[in-house]
Structure 1
Amino acid sequence: MKSRRSVTVAMAAVSVLVGTAPTADAAWNRPVSAWSRPVAVWNMNEWSGSRTMVDSSGNGHTGRIGPEVGTGIQALGATGYRFDRLEPDSPPTHPGHLVTVSDSPSLDPGTRDFTMTVRLRTTHKFGNVVQKGQATVRGGNFKMQIPGGIAECLYRGSSGSLLVRSPTRLNDGRWHTVRCDRNGSGLIMAVDGRVVARKPGWTGAISNGWPVTIGGKADCDQIEVGCDYYAGDLDYVQFDAG
């Protein structure tokens, strides 16, 4: 579970780095954290055996924890969830490997500035960490994944898609905080409080009727559509919107 002080420090670091980056677009420089508010805060510090994920934002976005997800896991000073490794693209499916949060319009970015932040720890090299919607669904989708140990953030909307990647692998067994800010000027990724990637552009509106899933895809068969199950630990997941 993260401390509020550490979040403040991380936000301040992102604000400074984004604000001093050389670009002619002032809106691109402006940090989302300066005006965003929590939409959902899943601290993932429930006790062992818990099957309900609490939303600490006060907005009521509780989640259902699958029976294959380990809770109350202690790892390098943090309490979180553990997702065991499953063979990629190998039947059967494992819906119990997921944490699922019911669809809500407030969980969709729409046209707002929108941020997803994840603190993760893994030694593996694949998996969808968190997402809402999938590649072909109407209304767009967004997700964070870690193929080859490289963190990626994707936002796909009515006007196009934006994808950013971390320049280095994060599957070194240490905790890393990955934050992705989508705003009207583009997409920014920060890792451990330092901006590491950015891409200009505008995705347009993102709004779908799908749940948020943590740990893999909701609709998959491991034959034609891989479930992309995440393997590793998670300390928290947070959504913020402008």
Structure 2
Amino acid sequence: MRRWFPLLVTTILLTGTPMAARASEVTSVAYWPMNEPAGATVMSDSSGNGLDGQIGDEVGAGVTAQGSTGYRFDRLEPDTPPPHPGHLVVVPDDPALNPGDRDFAVTLRLRTTGHFGNIIQKGQSTTEGGNFKLQIPNGKVQCSFRGDHGVLEADAPYAINDGDWHVVTCVRVSTGVALAIDGQRVAGRQGWTGTIRNNWPLTIGGKLDCDQRTVGCDYYAGDIDYTEINSA
């Protein structure tokens, strides 16, 4: 699937007016095609920024489904010890992965029949400096950004756990947060979250700091074809 500029598209959907930044000012923070073969241990960043990740030993790389190759995350029983750190892809902390006070968009292509789990995040709900994440409770995608001015969340009105591929974009701008599915805006909240900046790694597939007892790991179950982050 051809990459596009979700930041510009979704901002227009959110505000109803074109965004001030031009396409040339949109920066590719990271682009992970997730096309590595089975057995790969490194998720390569194709943006040129060197933000490679570590593929956990329980993540299935090189899996082909409906004509696309990506990573598979098997289902794990919620809140059932022990934790499975090998279920995650982990990208080390880098300042570029923090939204800061910038316009910031996270896009991924996924397919799932599950109804639970955190798809991607940087930080957790109590992390100093804020956090952002996409999760999929009851098969409905939620995206949230928490900054020093508060939390904004956009909740999809319908489920996408139908086993087909879907492109999901979560965007934070100065006027609010919006969620788009397959290129169409489905939810948004007006407001300003403030600055988001933490020193945590970015994880794909669930939480990093969890024990499946007092803190659930919220492991995602399904496939991901690619993930990208853009800013402006």
Q: Would you say same fold, with TM above 0.5?
A: yes
The secondary structure found in structure 1 opposite 2:96 is helix
- Letter of the 1:219 counterpart: D
1:32–1:233 Cα change, 3 Å: farther
- Letter of the 2:179 counterpart: M
- TM-score normalized by structure 1? 0.90
Query: Where does residue 38 of structure 2 map in the other structure?
Result: 48
| 1:136 maps onto 2:126 in alignment | yes
- CA deviations on 1:22-61 (whole Å, 9 max, x unpaired) are xxxx5xx538784421101011000111010000000000
1:17–1:162 Cα change, 3 Å: closer
Cα distance, 1:118 vs structure 2: 1.2
1:153 to 140, 143, 151: 143
- Letter of the 1:182 counterpart: R
1:224–1:15 Cα change, 3 Å: closer
1:157–1:49 Cα change, 3 Å: same
- CA deviations on 1:190-234 (whole Å, 9 max, x unpaired) are 100011111100000000010000000000000000000000000
Question: What does 1:162-173 align with in structure 2 at a 5 Å threshold?
Answer: 162-173=152-163
State the Cα RMSD in Å.
1.8
Query: Where does residue 97 of structure 1 map in the other structure?
Result: 87
Provide the rounded CA distance (Å) in 1 between the counterparts of 2:130 and 2:8: 30
Provide the rounded CA distance (Å) in 2 between the counterparts of 1:165 and 1:141: 17
Provide the rounded CA distance (Å) in 2 between the counterparts of 1:229 and 1:182: 24
| 1:184 maps onto 2:185 in alignment | no
Structure 2 residues not aligned, in runs of 5+:
none
Query: Where does residue 3 of structure 1 map in the other structure?
Result: 2
| 1:202 maps onto 2:192 in alignment | yes
- CA deviations on 1:138-193 (whole Å, 9 max, x unpaired) are 00000000001000001000000000011110100000111011010001111000
- Pairs aligned (count): 231
Query: Where does residue 230 of structure 2 map in the other structure?
Result: 240
1:31–1:126 Cα change, 3 Å: farther
1:175 to 158, 165, 175: 165
2:53 to 54, 63, 72: 63
- Identity %, equivalent residues: 54
Query: Where does residue 216 of structure 2 map in the other structure?
Result: 226
Cα distance, 1:12 vs structure 2: 7.8
The secondary structure found in structure 1 opposite 2:196 is coil
- Letter of the 2:218 counterpart: D
- Letter of the 2:54 counterpart: R
Provide the rounded CA distance (Å) in 2 between the counterparts of 1:63 and 1:102: 7
Query: Where does residue 118 of structure 1 map in the other structure?
Result: 108
Please identify which structure carries the higher helix content.
Answer: 1
1:77 to 67, 89, 113: 67
Cα distance, 1:3 vs structure 2: 2.6
- Letter of the 2:39 counterpart: G
Q: Are the counterparts in 2 of residues 139 and 208 from structure 1 also a CA contact under 8 Å? A: yes
Q: Are the counterparts in 2 of residues 32 and 113 from structure 1 also a CA contact under 8 Å? A: no
